[in-house]
Structure 1
Amino acid sequence: MKGLVCFGLVILSMAMSACHAPSNPVVKTHEYTIEQKCPTLKNMKVGEVLIFNVSENPSTGYQWQLLEPLKIFKTEETYLQNNSDEKAVGASGTKTFRFTAEKPGQDYIQLVHVRAWESSQQPDQKWLCRIRVS
């Protein structure tokens, strides 16, 4: 009888711990750099993240920008200056774009390396990615 009660308690505790398991599954992240081309059509699912990292030196006037707002992605931009150049004027760093798929559909990420005041100029560099989210 004592063994049966212990067995029941073990089963009950396992069931309780399953109820308290983390509900956040691991989010799939797709990472790219300027050297990596995006596939012709990138397939993603809602909740997945696409990250684009690229070197940038804003003191030159050139910065990476999203050409047009996206409809199905949440977009976040960050810039982190290189540690070795903390006190240097005109130091370079890394620009990171984080795109989180919020709803199904298709969108076209167009990132360009331009000077803001030269809008008629062709971009120095660009990175493009057509994405379908399901």
Structure 2
Amino acid sequence: MNSLAMRLLHFCAFALTILPCKGNAALLTEDTTGSSTTMAVGGCIQIALRGNATTGFAWELAPGAEDILALEGEPEFTADSSGIGAGGVFTFTFRAVAPGEATLTLVYRRPWEKEMAPLKNYQLKVSVTPK
């Protein structure tokens, strides 16, 4: 392969790692807790979990998977309706940044009640392979 083609190939591989995850990420929900997934470096997943921000509860990322997964931006909350006290969905987007294995854990709690056990947990075993 000539030098120009090699540079173009490297550029395309690099571009795939910096593209936004939205729209090209696998979507997982609460029913996948306790399961496992495999993805390549640069791949993306979205995790959508039901919750109610008006109660003070929110889903938070727990430590443990930061060596292989990076949270893309802030979690998004989408309310089911405009009604007072409406529940909705918290969506987290992650990008695989390095090969390895880890358990991704999200906890549903009130941020000021760190000493209390979470109301709910979400766990996903993630295996990231090289490209």
Q: Match of 1:35, SS? A: helix
Report the Cα distance in structure 2 between the residues aligned to 1:97 and 1:52, rounded to whole angstroms. Answer: 5
In the alignment, what sits opposite 1:78?
76
Deviation for aligned residue 1:93: 1.8
Q: Which amino acid aligns with 1:37?
A: T
In the alignment, what sits opposite 2:32?
36
Alignment pair present for 1:113 and 2:111: no
Report the Cα distance in structure 2 between the residues aligned to 1:38 and 1:46, rounded to whole angstroms. Answer: 22
Report the Cα distance in structure 2 between the residues aligned to 1:91 and 1:37, rounded to whole angstroms. Answer: 24
Q: Which amino acid aligns with 2:30?
A: I
Q: How many residues align?
A: 108
Q: Match of 1:112, SS? A: strand
In the alignment, what sits opposite 1:126?
121
Q: Match of 2:31, SS? A: coil
Deviation for aligned residue 1:72: 2.0
In the alignment, what sits opposite 1:11?
none
Question: Which is higher, the Rg of structure 1 or of structure 2?
Answer: 1
Query: Once superposed, what is the RMSD of the aligned Cα atoms?
Result: 2.3
C-alpha contact 2:77 2:88 (8 A) present in aligned 1: yes
Matches within 5 A, 1:27-106: 29-39=25-35, 41-68=36-63, 70-76=66-72, 77-82=75-80, 85-86=81-82, 88-106=83-101
Deviation for aligned residue 1:94: 1.2
Q: Which runs of 5+ in 1 are unaligned?
A: 1-18
TM-score where L is the length of structure 2: 0.70
Q: Match of 2:33, SS? A: coil
Q: Which amino acid aligns with 1:79?
A: F
Deviation for aligned residue 1:124: 0.8
Q: Which runs of 5+ in 2 are unaligned?
A: 1-7
C-alpha contact 2:32 2:124 (8 A) present in aligned 1: no
Report the Cα distance in structure 1 between the residues aligned to 2:25 and 2:34, rounded to whole angstroms. Answer: 14
Report the Cα distance in structure 2 between the residues aligned to 1:128 and 1:58, rounded to whole angstroms. Answer: 20
TM-score where L is the length of structure 1: 0.68
- Percent identity over the alignment? 25
Q: Match of 2:114, SS? A: coil
